Structure 1
Amino acid sequence: MSGLAFARAPSPALPIRFLSTALAWGIVAGLWLAWHGDAVVLSRWTPATLVLVHMLTLGLLGNGMLGSLVQFLPVAAGSPLPCARCVPWLHGAFNVGLMALLATLAWQLRALAWPAGGLLGVSLVMFATLALVAVARGNGERVVRDGIGLALIALVATTFLGLVLLAARTGWRVPAPPGLVDLHAVFGTLGWILGLLAAVSSITLPMLQGTHAVSPVASRIWQASLLATLGIVAAAQVRLLPDAAWRVAAWPFAVFGIAAFVLQARAPHRRNPTLRRFWQAGCTALLAASVTAMWSGTSLLLVSTLVLGVGLPLLMVGMALEITAFLTWIALRQRVPRGIRVPGVGSLFEEADKRRAFAVHVIAGALLMMVTLAPVLTRTAGFAVALAYAVSLHGQRRCWRQATTWQRDDG
């Protein structure tokens, strides 16, 4: 931890707010799936399906990614986020806008389309702008900051495309061009989520899992290849390339998963075994999604489930639980008088709580994959997903409570 700038860390309550909200949205997504049952898996265009997808991408993954950046930028990338006092307001605007968007999609409440688009658009673009300023001013590794910057630009592009689609769906403009939905999805999952995961994991894999450092050359090749992939997919959607060219979007998931496995296998100092298991399970799902997408372009439901329902959430949840221990430790360091020794990071989050959360998430993920073959299991899978995130949130809050109770017990 000596290479981390903890003196620059924001108030730990800021990132924990996002991470707790992310897990809470996971519970809501599971309950939504249980409520609507197999109606969610009948078509990608049903209101119930659209709501679930945005609960996962914005509510769960979106809050998780934004919260991680609030902590990661100043501490590990040497890029303090300007106007940190705006972060709670951005968190509130983002999640209120998300609730308005879900109501618009679920019940066609056209009156909520404008506030939904306004709150989501302003909060995401403002956050991306502040983060890009931080990246430009930072003194951390240039390749890491560039990777984060590219992901943030993809976030802005995803937001713009989403606003266009929302306007088209609610009748505020002409119907969206064909392929715009897929382009919106690819920019969001590949450019924003996977791009940010790759940039951040180049620091967190060595720090939290004891792997070798990622080569800057390899990171540059990844960034250039990811940009090229996004360009190919965009060209395919506007008919400049054959429709089959969109399958190239599958390879980054495979490369990311294989790279994580190789780094873990060659790790000189293996740490945090439960986090390693979260990542192994998540990367396995991403690899399966990549193979399925390349071999069978018709298995969209299975690919989407593997990526959005299993793979990416497992990576995010594992990191969120580990980050919570760091945030709790930082909060203790900030509150406990100097000269008093605080517990180590590794002792703040009970390993049994992490293992319990991992086990329930694996069961829920297996049920989600089975739903693609047996829709009758949809409600069972939904309850399992809600339980998995409830267990994770309980463990997280139990760890975070030590930031206030430990001092009182020992003071």
Structure 2
Amino acid sequence: MQALLSFDQAPPFSAPIRFFVSAPLFAILAGLLMLWSGPDLFSSRWTPAALALTHLITAGFMLQVMLGAMFQILPVVAGANISRPLLIATVVHAAIALGALLLAAAFLSHQPLAFRLAVISLGSGLALFAGAAGHALYGVPSRNPTIVGLKLSLVGLSMTVGIGALLAIALDASLALPLLQLTSIHLGWGFVGWGMVLLAAVAFVVVPMFQMTPPYPPGVARHFCWSVLVLLSLWSVVELADWQWPAALLAGALVLAAAVFAAVTLHVQRRSKRARFDATQHYWRVAMLCALAACLLWFLASLLPTLAERPEWPLLCGVLVLSGGFMSVMIGMLYKIVPFLVWLHLQNLGGGRVMAPNMNKVIAGEQIDRQMRAHFVSLAVLLAAVAWPEWFTYPAGIALVVANSWLLRNLLAAVTFYQQHRSTIQGLAPAVATGR
């Protein structure tokens, strides 16, 4: 896979980094929301606070990281150059950040105007990104699984946004729609069609490259993204038609596909050439284990009516998927992607005359390890809060704020490192060029 990378086509440093630095802010807001709302948040997944918190993580943290990664990956991995990337990144970043805040406020206040403004802001920002990315990818040959996955993830993103917009409009009674079915379909396209497909497309490159593992099995890499999207499309149709047995079978197939991807990733990780795991590998391992646990919980709830009737299981599954799965793997990727971006741009700035510092110096290893432990503590306390909200909601909120404040501190340290060494290289380069 490494031969596919074109580092000279990377966008400006500030294009992706603004998304990465913004992401922890939304998770911090989610922790503060837990402290403000208290244990009632965990009484049901349908409480206004639970819905607002979920979207602070999905439309806030996750979307920021995923779009930032796409701005970097499209030109470097796929050779798909977004036209005027800095301008597009600036507009998209502002629109989706405002939209995520408005959406959380809309769930808390249940004001129709807030939902409409959120739809306009998020919809316009994501439409701009999807259009720019789609135009960049148009004509790029689908010569490897990552490029195929990137293209299919844009389909998943478009479906997620479109269905979410319908739901937001329907919440103020403007449209008579089957809300429960559309909510399930929205979740499916968001978590699977957009999140999991993009994660798999990126994993096919970054896991072997950064974790020094063998490549994914050819059959998994070649067929996974297409198979998932076909299953998801079929499930969406039968779910909307309220055909219960076909919908249950197809949903089970999708959950099984997620479990297979997690198991294969763990198997590939076990064959890493590294003597000892670094923080990124620990993050990926925990993420895949949480994904497997969420899949097992889903199957148990499908088979055991007594478990399915309990309100805690969807919340527990949500924490495993969001905090344990997606957030863990994304933070792990940030600790590789951000130092790599800093090194790459400093190396290009030096032009071969001034060498960039080693990537391992961009963020101190001890700070990464401490933040990782804080995140895992946060995950454990969040899981406990689902079962015992009176005891653990406030500690969980504090833990979430601490872990993501630490992440923000580490990312800002990387930005400061880049700015300091950029100034140094710019000062040294003329002297090196003249032989002084």
Quickly name the TM-score band, shorter chain normalised: over 0.9
1:25 touches 1:56 (CA, 8 Å); kept in 2? yes
Q: Distance in 2 between matches of 1:270 and 1:208?
A: 14
Report whether the alignment pairs 1:244 with 2:258: no
The normalised TM-score by structure 2 is 0.89
CA deviation map 1:206-236 (0-9, x unaligned) = 1111111224432222123212331343113
Q: Pick the aligned partner of 1:339 from 353, 358, 381.
A: 353
Residue in 1 aligned with 2:185? Answer: 183
Rg larger in structure: 2
Residue in 1 aligned with 2:295? Answer: 290
Report whether the alignment pairs 1:357 with 2:371: yes
2:48 touches 2:107 (CA, 8 Å); kept in 1? yes
1:18 touches 1:91 (CA, 8 Å); kept in 2? yes
Query: Larger deviation: 46-55 or 92-101?
Result: 92-101
- Give the drift of 1:90: 1.0
CA deviation map 1:78-116 (0-9, x unaligned) = 221233122211110111122222222111222223221
Residue in 1 aligned with 2:173? Answer: 171
Q: Distance in 1 between matches of 2:215 and 2:275?
A: 13
Q: Distance in 2 between matches of 1:272 and 1:36?
A: 38
Q: Distance in 2 between matches of 1:131 and 1:302?
A: 35
Structure 2 unaligned residues grouped into runs of 5+? 303-307, 428-436
2:102 touches 2:118 (CA, 8 Å); kept in 1? yes
CA deviation map 1:270-300 (0-9, x unaligned) = 6861100000111111110000001114221
Q: Distance in 1 between matches of 2:42 and 2:325?
A: 18
Report the AA paired with residue 241 of structure 2: V
1:357 touches 1:392 (CA, 8 Å); kept in 2? yes
Q: 1:5-404 residue pairs with structure 2 within 5 A?
A: 5-84=6-85, 85-138=87-140, 141-234=143-236, 235-242=238-245, 244-245=248-249, 246-269=251-274, 273-297=278-302, 298=308, 299-336=313-350, 338-376=352-390, 377-404=392-419
Q: Distance in 1 between matches of 2:141 and 2:421?
A: 34
- Give the drift of 1:77: 2.2
Q: Distance in 1 between matches of 2:95 and 2:330?
A: 22
Q: CA RMSD in A?
A: 2.0
1:321 touches 1:392 (CA, 8 Å); kept in 2? no
- Give the drift of 1:241: 4.3
1:117 touches 1:166 (CA, 8 Å); kept in 2? yes
2:16 touches 2:89 (CA, 8 Å); kept in 1? no
Query: Larger deviation: 52-61 or 83-92?
Result: 83-92
Q: Distance in 1 between matches of 2:217 and 2:298?
A: 29
Report the AA paired with residue 259 of structure 2: A
- Give the drift of 1:75: 1.1
Secondary structure of 1:179's aligned partner: helix
2:92 touches 2:129 (CA, 8 Å); kept in 1? yes
Query: Larger deviation: 93-102 or 331-340?
Result: 331-340
1:5 touches 1:75 (CA, 8 Å); kept in 2? yes
1:78 touches 1:140 (CA, 8 Å); kept in 2? no
Report the AA paired with residue 5 of structure 1: S
Query: Larger deviation: 158-167 or 24-33?
Result: 24-33
Structure 1 unaligned residues grouped into runs of 5+? none
CA deviation map 1:335-384 (0-9, x unaligned) = 44651111122332221111111100110001111112111201110110
Secondary structure of 1:340's aligned partner: coil
- Give the drift of 1:3: 5.2
Query: Larger deviation: 400-409 or 313-322?
Result: 400-409
Residues 140 and 390 of structure 1, relative CA distance in 2, 3 Å threshold: farther
1:22 touches 1:59 (CA, 8 Å); kept in 2? yes
Alignment identity in percent?
A: 27
Secondary structure of 2:43's aligned partner: coil
The normalised TM-score by structure 1 is 0.94
Report the AA paired with residue 239 of structure 2: A
CA deviation map 1:252-287 (0-9, x unaligned) = 331121111111112245686110000011111111
Residues 204 and 178 of structure 1, relative CA distance in 2, 3 Å threshold: same
2:31 touches 2:401 (CA, 8 Å); kept in 1? yes
Query: Larger deviation: 41-50 or 239-248?
Result: 239-248
- Give the drift of 1:177: 4.2
How many matched pairs? 411
1:74 touches 1:80 (CA, 8 Å); kept in 2? yes
Secondary structure of 1:212's aligned partner: coil
Report the AA paired with residue 372 of structure 2: F
